Amino acid sequence: MKRFFATLLTVTFTAVAAAQHPSLLLTERGVAEIRAARGEVPAFDRSLEATLRGADDALAQPIVVPQPKDGGGGYTHEQHKLNYYRMFDCGVAYQMTGEAKYARYVVDMLLAYAELYPTLGYHPVKLSGVPGRIFWQTLNESVWLVHTAIAYDCVYDCLTVKERRIIEARLFRPYADFVMNGTSDNRANNAVFNRMHNHGTWATAAVGMIGMAMGDDDLVDRALYGSDKTGRTGGFIRQLDCLFSPDGYFTEGAYYQRYAIWPFVVFAQCIEHKRPEIGIFRYRDGIIPKAVATLTQLAYEGRFLRFNDALDKGYDAQELIYAVDIAYNADPSNKQLLDIAARYQNKFLPTDAGYAVARDIARGEAEPLRFRSALYRDGREGDEGGIAVMRSTDPALNSLVTLKATSHGLSHGHYDKLTMAYYDNGNEVLTDYGAARFINIEAKYKGHYTRENKSFAMQTVAHNTLVVDGRSHFDGDIKRSSKYHSEIFFADFERPAVQIVSAVERNACEGVTMRRTTAYVTTDFLQYPLILDVVKAESAEEHCYDLPYWYNGHMISLDFPYERALRRMTTLGERNGYQHLWVEAEGRNTASSTSCFTWLVGDRFYSLSTATTPQTELRLVRAGANDPDFNLRGEPAYFIRENGKRNHTFCSALESHGTYDLQVEQSANLTASCRGIEMLVDTPECTVARFTFEGGRTVTLCVAYMGDGSSVHEAEAGGEQFEWTGYYDVRM
Amino acid sequence: MKRFFATLLTVTFTAVAAAQHPSLLLTERGVAEIRAARGEVPAFDRSLEATLRGADDALAQPIVVPQPKDGGGGYTHEQHKLNYYRMFDCGVAYQMTGEAKYARYVVDMLLAYAELYPTLGYHPVKLSGVPGRIFWQTLNESVWLVHTAIAYDCVYDCLTVKERRIIEARLFRPYADFVMNGTSDNRANNAVFNRMHNHGTWATAAVGMIGMAMGDDDLVDRALYGSDKTGRTGGFIRQLDCLFSPDGYFTEGAYYQRYAIWPFVVFAQCIEHKRPEIGIFRYRDGIIPKAVATLTQLAYEGRFLRFNDALDKGYDAQELIYAVDIAYNADPSNKQLLDIAARYQNKFLPTDAGYAVARDIARGEAEPLRFRSALYRDGREGDEGGIAVMRSTDPALNSLVTLKATSHGLSHGHYDKLTMAYYDNGNEVLTDYGAARFINIEAKYKGHYTRENKSFAMQTVAHNTLVVDGRSHFDGDIKRSSKYHSEIFFADFERPAVQIVSAVERNACEGVTMRRTTAYVTTDFLQYPLILDVVKAESAEEHCYDLPYWYNGHMISLDFPYERALRRMTTLGERNGYQHLWVEAEGRNTASSTSCFTWLVGDRFYSLSTATTPQTELRLVRAGANDPDFNLRGEPAYFIRENGKRNHTFCSALESHGTYDLQVEQSANLTASCRGIEMLVDTPECTVARFTFEGGRTVTLCVAYMGDGSSVHEAEAGGEQFEWTGYYDVRM
């Protein structure tokens, strides 16, 4: 009833609003303000000039609308992408200058497309289950239409009625119909349009925005409420309900959240302009601004945390310019967004929103971006685990630990339950490989995810987490993995000296319960924070437990004897990613029950000390074997193996230490402080571990695996009594 | 006679000047100016505050002058280094604030040293042929004394006569005597003091500066004119005559020129203050400012070109702050130095010179640093070959090619005759390994050059140059190598579209003459410049000729079939550096007479096309084998082998191409344009090679190996006539 009423209202309002152009990303008022302010906000002027230059470059060349032929990165693919950027630039240029030549360019190109489009069948590159016509996949068709709708909105008033009729009848309506419904032969597009997936969001945004530009309320309603207009199975509004957790987390992770956010903010901006009565930015407790905020938190030094299928992108990605500008325009009280725009982007949308951001930065309104430790719950209801991000509280430090205990994350998820990563001093320290892909590079499997993405990057062994018997979690079966999620057992970021998170995974390795407790500890005797990492495996059967720590930087030392592969190198295994690992060195520590690996990243040292026995197999490995096309980066890992164990707890302390200034050639504190790790108690109920450091200083970690925040726990070891209330205790 | 007169004059002047303190790096007038200007030049204030903070930090802790024990990077080594920085800071702080506590700190520390010093024998770490007492090598003793002399000069007027007597008698005089003369057991120090070597310059600067601080003209004269004061065999003045070529090039290369320049500029500044009549900055046609200028030119993006024993250092190194500030103070008309200081350093010496630089930057006097293509001749007389640096003339580009045809370069030289390197778009593209060393990291061979520096980094195969029969140049014998030098046959950087250099080496490989001609060509049909590289080997006997191209970045493709090491990897050879090379892939090109390797660096692609036959062995290799301690970086090379040839000419075209913008996911021009390379003529007299590109465009390079700039050359191939005047011609 409520929705029906909203729809009715909508129709009334938009019937009036339809006559106004532009009204998608630009408004008449916005354009007037921007034109009046030329020369007053130099940073915005530079962005606008880039757009105008893009428009002039477009005009300087003939319009080329080639017959579709190539896949991603290929000529026709790139030309059609270039075309929508050019139309966008020219559309904006027309609004900003009033010069008809820009509008004419858009119209002429649209007429060329209107001639081509009716002749097209499916794209000749048959690589997608959801094939497009201009592009090899419909996803790109949607992106084309989003940009083109904005351009059309900008030049709408310049077209003759006949031109509009031709372009709408031969291009936009069949195009929107194709994106929304597919063809009678292939209804895949319709499934995507109504699907709760970011490709579906691109499709709804595309159809909705061209509907708005044409003044076609029916298309807009279908975009908002699904192709059946009920709102029950599809549509943008339902996507807002389903695609983010209540904490604004997108299940595929930060890299794809970056991509997913784009159609959300663009279409939301249009909805706010055309159907303000929906209050789209307040919808679901403000899920859009919340998703933008969460995304900006899932970053380090402006680069998105690299987990699942992720490449190196950050705040400077074009999607983030859209996200930051539009989110700020929706809520100008959030001055931290200005800081992101000023420090990392310095590019602004040539729209009302971009202008507002640039103007307010120029007015000095930016406030420093503040990071916080947080748990981002996964799942539509927030009940499918989550990812914990623990950050340094001391602003002089710059470190971050993650523990990932989420659901699988759709097709871009990895088999990496309870994986962790560490960032410090501006660098990745314990790393996540991310995706094996050379996006848009034809020579590398046409720019798609390479074979090694599945055979290595997705496999458990490519991550800093437990591998049981050399098998990936859920045996690498996405169907099984998608049924389950890890659980956050507890998380506490409130104590000044200790931040901690503990998670459990019961399904990934049959018959084995995995737990990981990771703490970020500030001591008064170590130079930098101490990371404690306790990975506990429990099973009724004997297993081979592997725990790799993938690292960035250069190996400095191992404190036990090892044999280096000198003249010949072989692989660690045959399958599940192990076939990609060269064994560079192997050793055992018979002299001490704690083994330490030290490496250098940038100007700082990192030492990982782990409780081991003479049976523990310790290796240094490197990715790159069985990689016929050189698709892998040769990243290194420190690899700990405990064989023939029912239960085993990997207990490690990671120190960041040392001052290493090459410019003045001064160094200090280059060796680890940790002198020993004792597992005092290790039962199904709890673990008590003591870490001893130089000078006899100790840190004792007590973790309970049952009870709740008020339970009292007791344990005893060697006559020493331990008692604590709640999930954990850390004594120093 | 002239020198004798200068010396006489000196004595007269300095007898007067001796009473004034400070007068080494600071002057009374300078201090007054700096004190008056506090708050007016914020950038300088920040540097000065860092010094004052350093002084306060020093005062907050007890004075620790430990018994010498550790080598580089170890505790006592670092503590004694810290001590001289602390004395320096406190000396300056005293001058800037007038607060006696800072002077007292210096005096107390000097008294502590005066107690320790007479008790010391040689340092317990026996690793140097020139051992010190406080440090493991005398070099560090000299550096200590340079800093301490400055501190002593600053606080001189605060000491009681008795304190001066104790410190001078027990510390400075025996210390200077040790540095200058060594001991009766070991005269190595005396040899170094008088040697034409940068360690000798540190020694003369140290002795001269403490002489100046104490008012001891005899010490100053010995520093200037050798321990025998004749000026004929040793001393700073003679070092100025011998250690730089007439072009201001220091034979060890840029990295050590950085280090060598430090004592030169520091002592020169003191000489200018204390003995202005020498006109030290004008000496030998202004060799000191010329050496600073040459050093700043031997850099890319502010990092020194990496050849010979080099680590990653640049304009921000502390030596360069000394060099830039003091050179500017000596010649304030050179406003480009201000640009270096402002953009790369933003730190200033807390001295007259540093203040002058900061003040003039604040006045807006900086002029953009201009780079130019140049040949820097090697050798005291400029007749021992040289290094050519060819740079982009288009300011929108940022590329640089080097061809090294110098003398050996003393103990830090590599066996790399005619090696080349390429830098582009902000990155190293074709690289030079530089040194295998982890400076100051005890765990890595105590911070010294590692074994692999000799077994790999110095060997010919670690460089982008010709290896004959798997043997390094001069068989890696420095004595033989030091007898010879390569010759620059011609160099021409004057034509707008072509810069070119050609060099020859006749001694490095017995019975083989090597020539290399490298050209930086600007075409009107390629996106970025084209590098042509022609390496010609001539011999009466059959040889195996190897030409590696070490590269930075990720392998993208080879245009011929190859076999990748998948499950097992072995080394390329057994000795001369080959034992360190893993063979990652090998192949032959039976389908085409041109083979192409493409790789990605940053957001740009590089394609090296080479004329090959089906017999040419092509490999991808990677450093890292036979490296028991993980001392090597795993850098990759494309490796071309021609076996069983008397004469062979490697002829290659290196294209930089492609636009790869990950942020907007747009790419273009990702494949090589070169379609074929034909060796039209290849005789002992000349080479004519034609490079054909997409669309049939060609570049024809004609190079003569005899005659001079006005000789006429003729050649004929397949009925086509080639005639050119001078050393070369390039036709497009």
Residue count (chain B): 732
Q: Residues with Cβ < 8 Å from A220, sequence gap 6 or more?
A: A10, A14, A208, A211, A212, A274, A275
Which residues in chain A have Cβ-Cβ distances shorter than 8 Å to B665?
439-440
Give one DSSP letter per residue of B310-338, joined into a string.
Answer: --S-BTTSHHHHHHHHHHHHH-TT-THHH
**Selected residues 575-604 of chain A with any CB under 8 Å from a CB in chain B:** 579, 582, 584-585, 598, 600
d(CA A489, CA A512): 17
Q: Is A29 on the interface with B (CB under 8 A)?
A: no
Catalytic site residue from B255, B256, B344, B638? B256
Mean predicted confidence (pLDDT) in B132-138 = 97
Q: What is the pLDDT of residues A109-155, one digit of tens each?
A: 999 999 999 999 999 999 899 999 999 999 999 999 999 999 999 99
Query: A675 by DSSP, 3-state: which?
Result: strand
pLDDT reading at B666 higher than 80? no
Using alpha carbons, list the distances in angstroms from residue B475 to B436, B467, B578. 20, 10, 13
Q: In this predicted structure, what is the pLDDT of residue A10?
A: 42
Query: A163 by DSSP, 3-state: which?
Result: helix
Q: In this predicted structure, what is the pLDDT of residue B533?
A: 98
Q: In this predicted structure, what is the pLDDT of residue B662?
A: 80
Phi then psi for A535, rounded to 5 degrees? -110, 115
Check CB contact under 8 Å for A567 and B570. yes
**Cβ-contact A506, A485 below 8 angstroms:** no
Widest pairwise Cα distance in chain A: 93
What's chain B's average pLDDT? 95
pLDDT reading at A58 higher than 50? yes
pLDDT reading at A22 higher than 90? yes
Mean predicted confidence (pLDDT) in A465-486 = 98
Task: Dig out the tokens for B716 from the structure.
Answer: 């004929």
Angle of CA points B692, B544, B628, to nearest 5°: 105
Q: In this predicted structure, what is the pLDDT of residue A1?
A: 38
Q: Is A86 on the interface with B (CB under 8 A)?
A: no
Mean predicted confidence (pLDDT) in A538-563 = 98
Which residues in chain A have Cβ-Cβ distances shorter than 8 Å to B313?
662-663
Q: What is the pLDDT of residues B575-623, one digit of tens each?
A: 999 999 999 999 999 999 999 999 999 999 999 999 999 999 999 999 9
Check CB contact under 8 Å for A666 and B82. yes
With CA atoms as reference, the chain B residue closest to A570 would be B568
Q: In this predicted structure, what is the pLDDT of residue A446?
A: 84
| Amino acid sitting at position A43 | A
Give one DSSP letter per residue of A390-434, joined into a string.
Answer: EE-SSTT--EEEEEEE-B--GGG--S-TTEEEEEETTEEEE----
Q: In this predicted structure, what is the pLDDT of residue A17?
A: 41
Answer yes or no: A273 catalytic.
no
pLDDT reading at A199 higher than 50? yes
Which pLDDT band, with edges at 50, 70 and 90, does A176 fall under? very high
The order of strands in the sheet holding A399-405 is A374-377, A386-391, A399-405, A419-424, A427-430
pLDDT reading at B3 higher than 70? no
User: DSSP alpha helices (H): ranges in B461-573?
Assistant: 478-483
Nearest Cβ partner for B667 among A78, A600, A662:
A78
Q: Is B61 on the interface with A (CB under 8 A)?
A: no
Helix (H) or strand (E) holding B660: strand B659-661
pLDDT reading at A680 higher than 90? yes
Nearest CA of chain A to the CA of B255: how many Å?
12
Beta strands B617-623; A666-668: pairing state? unpaired
Mean predicted confidence (pLDDT) in A253-278 = 97
Q: In this predicted structure, what is the pLDDT of residue A19?
A: 61
Which pLDDT band, with edges at 50, 70 and 90, does A504 fall under? very high
Catalytic site residue from A84, A94, A113, A256? A256
**Residue of B89, B259, B630 to mutate, interface with A, max A Cβ within 10 Å:** B630
Q: In this predicted structure, what is the pLDDT of residue B19?
A: 61
Which residues in chain A have Cβ-Cβ distances shorter than 8 Å to B628?
564, 566
End-to-end CA distance of chain A: 60
Phi then psi for A5, rounded to 5 degrees? -65, -45
Which residues in chain B have Cβ-Cβ distances shorter than 8 Å to A318?
663-664
Q: In this predicted structure, what is the pLDDT of residue B73?
A: 76
Check CB contact under 8 Å for A566 and B627. yes
What's chain A's average pLDDT? 95
Check CB contact under 8 Å for B600 and A438. yes
pLDDT reading at A310 higher than 60? yes
d(CA A243, CA B521): 54
Q: What is the pLDDT of residues A430-448, one digit of tens each?
A: 999 999 999 888 889 988 8
Q: What share of chain A is helix, strand, coil (3-state, %, to 5)?
A: 40, 25, 35
d(CA B640, CA B562): 13
Nearest CA of chain A to the CA of B686: how many Å?
37
**Selected residues 442-461 of chain A with any CB under 8 Å from a CB in chain B:** 442-444
d(CA B84, CA B402): 38
pLDDT reading at A2 higher than 50? no
Check CB contact under 8 Å for B598 and A443. yes
Mean predicted confidence (pLDDT) in B704-720 = 96
**Cβ-contact A141, A175 below 8 angstroms:** yes
Q: pTM (2 decimals)? A: 0.93
State what percent of residues in chain A have pLDDT above 90: 93
Q: What is the pLDDT of residues B502-527, one digit of tens each?
A: 999 999 999 999 999 999 999 999 99
State what percent of residues in chain B have pLDDT above 70: 97
Q: What is the pLDDT of residues B424-452, one digit of tens each?
A: 999 999 999 999 999 888 889 988 899 99
Check CB contact under 8 Å for A442 and B671. yes
Q: In this predicted structure, what is the pLDDT of residue A12?
A: 40
Which pLDDT band, with edges at 50, 70 and 90, does B10 fall under? very low
Answer yes or no: B256 catalytic.
yes
Which pLDDT band, with edges at 50, 70 and 90, does A372 fall under? very high
Count A/B contacts: CB-CB distance under 8 Å: 133
pLDDT reading at B14 higher than 50? no
Task: Dig out the tokens for A362 from the structure.
Answer: 């120029």
Q: Is A73 on the interface with B (CB under 8 A)?
A: yes
Which residues in chain B have Cβ-Cβ distances shorter than 8 Å to A446?
none
Query: Which region holds residue B477: left if phi is over 0, alpha if psi is between -120 and 50, else beta?
Result: beta
d(CA B356, CA A526): 41
Nearest CA of chain B to the CA of A506: how many Å?
34
Check CB contact under 8 Å for B78 and A667. yes
Which ipTM score applies to this complex? 0.91
Q: Cβ–Cβ contacts within 10 Å for residue A541, how many?
A: 11
Q: In this predicted structure, what is the pLDDT of residue A60?
A: 97
**Selected residues 142-161 of chain A with any CB under 8 Å from a CB in chain B:** none
Helix (H) or strand (E) holding B7: helix B2-17
Which residues in chain A have Cβ-Cβ distances shorter than 8 Å to B442?
670-671
Q: What is the pLDDT of residues A450-459, one digit of tens each?
A: 999 999 999 9
Which pLDDT band, with edges at 50, 70 and 90, does B8 fall under? very low
Check CB contact under 8 Å for A73 and B670. yes
| Amino acid sitting at position A647 | N
**Cβ-contact B677, B683 below 8 angstroms:** no
**Neighbouring-strand partners of residue A499:** A520
Mean predicted confidence (pLDDT) in A73-88 = 94
Q: In this predicted structure, what is the pLDDT of residue A395?
A: 81
Q: In this predicted structure, what is the pLDDT of residue B114?
A: 98
Preceding omega of A368 cis (within 30 degrees of 0):
no
